[in-house]
Amino acid sequence: MLPLDALNFDNTFSRLPAGLFTRVPPTGLHKPRLVAFNAEVAALLDLGPECVRNPDFVAYFSGQKLLPGSDPLAMKYTGHQFGVYNPDLGDGRGLLLGEVVNRRGEAWDLHLKGAGKTPYSRFGDGRAVLRSCIREYLGSEAMHHLGIPSTRALCIVGSDEPVQREKTEAAATLLRVADTHIRFGHLEWLHHSGQPELLRTLVDYIIQHHFPELDDKADRHAQFFREVVRRTARLMALWQLAGFAHGVMNTDNFSITGATFDYGPFGFLDAYEPGFICNHSDYHGRYAWNQQPSVGLWNLNALAYALSGLVGKDELIDALQTYEPELLEAYSRGLHDKLGLQGEQAGDRELVVDFLDLLARNGADYTRSFRRLSSVRQDVTLSPLRDDFVDREAFDAWLDRYRARLAVEGSNDDERARRMNAVNPKYILRNYLAQVAIDKAESGDYSEIERLRSLLSNPFAEQPENEHYAALPPEWGKHLEISCSS
């Protein structure tokens, strides 16, 4: 493993034309202290767990000192926010420190969130708060271990430095690790500001570094867009299958490589409520949970417009038309797996839709219901899941159909339970669990952050010592308001 000050930086983005970014040194936190450290992510960078004992660790990741080889910069981009184009965007509270290449040849962006003001901060202070850093740290780890493409985080550094949001909070930094921080909004900015040559340069850079299999294709730009459509469709399907709501699906929050990006007011479904809005600033429900697939397509249309100088209209339309079948195929297959069904039978779609409808009408918990369904036995009339439904007669009628469907394929209960429990998590990051960790951390106790990170690193396993983390949320934790404010 490498020493902390010997990371292998190869800052390819900073070698692009200077118009794409502004070099900015971070503004260090006052009296920083380590809040959380992720040894799994450290290993991606060829760092051992002992790196956290380096006396400069906190200084490097609070912005007080620069890592040798880093080249901090703020990226310029724009994007559509709640459907309205905003030309005045960019890294306003975070800096790309550089790109680290590990021994496996993988390149990872290191991005310091909360690093202070940049030319794109507008009226902001350039800071992140401890609350939002904890939510992103835990949320990104939860998503990664659910098998959903996501950014990750190496550490959180806290301080007593006050920042004003809805109330006075403590400033913090988070070191985010991702394959890239290039967003749909980068390409929108170059198109809408009339910079076609720089747009071509950036797209070719993206293809070379993140879609190398397309690099020698004559129609590489069209194939690139088609691949972004495919990845985005599959990401949306995975979000829906996990019951994950992003909350702020602006085009500047969409990764060009199809990873979950920019965790703000996100949330996982508790009770199955298709119209769930996790962001209390989303007054009209534009980004409600059941709207996410259509918003994904809307964002891809915005990206297509940005690429219209490089790719023909017919090719763009043809690529966009692959979105719905890609998404539906992935989502339908995922629901099939969540129900433990094998093969395709007449009536499968109705069986799945009727189960989701039962969940919605009874306010049943999304994650818990799918997980407990694995315990259904074909030779036992009643199921423990029955008690989670107010309308038990309707549940019994559906369960009879489900058992009959299992009998058609000769399903083995034990084998089916094993398969279902491999795709239906026992543990998710419920909002109230994150809030408990935040409350403790704001009182100086950081232990719950690591406890949750460890729990969520193995979400499909039975963990008897942690059974209480799989419980339904308490009354106070059912309707927590989460905002965009960081």
Catalytic residues: 252
Query: What letters, b where the CB count within 10 A reaches 16 and e where it falls short, cover 5-19?
Result: eebebebebbeeeee
DSSP annotation string for 228-269: HHHHHHHHHHHHHHHTEE-S---GGG-BTTS-B---SS-EE-
User: Given its phi and psi angles, is residue 29 left (phi above 0), alpha (psi -120 to 50 degrees) or beta?
Assistant: beta
Side chain identity at 471, as an amino acid letter? A
Distances (CA, A) of 11 to 14, 60, 71, 72: 6, 17, 7, 10
Nearest alpha-carbon partner for 447 in 437, 457, 434, 432: 437
Number of Cβ within a 10 Å radius of residue 102: 16
Cβ pair 158, 169 in contact under 8 A: no
Distances (CA, A) of 321 to 110, 297, 327: 35, 10, 11
What is the C-alpha to C-alpha distance for residues 243 and 135, in angstroms, rounded to an integer? 17
Cβ pair 339, 244 in contact under 8 A: no
What is the C-alpha to C-alpha distance for residues 231 and 384, in angstroms, rounded to an integer? 38
Q: Give the count of alpha carbons within 13 A of 331, CB side only.
A: 22
Residue 462, token pair as written in the block: 């039975």
Strand pairing report for 152-164 and 128-129? unpaired
